[in-house]
Amino acid sequence: MYTIDRDPLLLTPGPLTTSLRTKQAMLHDWGSWDAAFNCMTAEVCRQLVDVVHGAGTHVCVPLQGSGTFAVEATLGTLVPRDGKVLVPNNGAYCARILKILTYLGREAVELRFAEDQPADPAAIEAALLADPGITHVAQVHCETGTGILNPLADISAVVARLGRGLIIDAMSSFAAIEIDARTVPFDALIAASGKCLEGVPGMGFVIVRQSILEASAGRCHSLAMDLLDQWVYMQKTTQWRFTPPTHVVAALHEALAQFHEEGGLAARSTRYGANCAALIEGMRGIGLKPFLPPALQSNIIVTFHAPKHPRYDFTAFYQGVRDRGFILYPGKLTQVDTFRVGCIGALTPNDISQVVHAVASTLCEMGVPVLP
């Protein structure tokens, strides 16, 4: 049995490993109506808008809960009850949007792509031209079921040219992959605290065009998830409508300080890219092949083909790697046996080399051959 004197490192797309400073930010209590906390919320929201260069056109609406809460809130608030949403679907999180729309009673049009293929802007354009009733496109930027990166800028251009609204699920790309609201038009972009900003989970947020948000009155199915009501109340009072995740906000405030100290999005993207390159090279060195070709691979998470060996069992594999200090993620593919390894969080290429060693040691212990 291995003894690890630290928390296991999280090789997942969120929650993820956070820095000591971010953890320490949660050691204090905050009053939800206190002016200091409300100023912190306002500062966090301002900085989040700045990440996508949205000042003057877009506002940030924070929401208690996971990223999926924020996705549902966005669809329920911005899509009219008689609206219709085109969902390019090449993975598990695209499928989740379709499921949410079903619950909301919003009509959806699924545009299917293979799990190893990016969404095609030309196919999206054809679908929009064929159905003038489609009001919105809901696009996942980085589909972390595989790690594939969809061509957001080209899709945005198509949607804008045809006069439809674009809702972006940027859960796993925000703050690591450039999205510029000045050149990539969108109605709303959704992300969360526990992803590439390297905060802790518990707060989703939506960066939404202010004019679009102001026009959404009366649409939402839910009081708790009404983004317009949340935003209007915050503008009037500086407070959250309901009990806020105070410790999560404090951690995110500290994580944003470290994000800027590191060098912002460009530096974070570079570090994640180095992690990704080290991971793929190391895993290839022990005989594990990535699911995606390099041209389609994001620097967020890598899906690997599971070893085709009778002694391989994911549960035993997962536990063996965990015992060595690392937490992996199961695959999300429907037809192929895979597992996933995240590249994001407070990790460096040196951490990644230790992950590869842990994977190799575990496979050897299971009796699954690895390359020398």
Does 340 belong to an annotated binding site? yes
Q: How far apart are CA 279 and CA 345, in angstroms?
A: 14
Q: Which of 74, 52, 105, 31 is nearest to 231 (CA)?
A: 74
Residue with tokens 């080290």: 278
Helical segments of the chain, H only: 20-24, 35-51, 67-78, 92-104, 121-130, 152-161, 210-214, 227-237, 246-262, 264-285, 314-323, 349-366
- Local structure of 142: helix, strand or coil: strand
In sequence order, which residues have a C-beta less than 8 Å from that of residue 232 and are 6 or more positions away?
Answer: none
Q: Tell me the β-bridge partners of 191.
A: 205
Strands 203-209 and 58-64: antiparallel
Question: Are 284 and 297 within 8 A, CB to CB?
Answer: no
C-alpha–C-alpha distance, residues 294 and 305, integer Å: 15
Beta bridge partners of 303: 340
Distance, CA of 353 to CA of 214 (rounded, Å): 49
- Nearest 5 degrees, angle CA 207-CA 119-CA 292? 105
CA gap 247, 242 in Å, rounded? 15
Pairing status of strand 142-143 against strand 148-149: antiparallel
Q: What is d(CA 288, CA 370) in angstroms, rounded to the nearest whole number?
A: 8
243 burial class (0-12, 13-18, 19+ CB within 10 angstroms)?
exposed
Q: Tokens standing for 126?
A: 């054809």
Annotated binding-site residues read 340
Annotated binding-site residues for substrate read 340
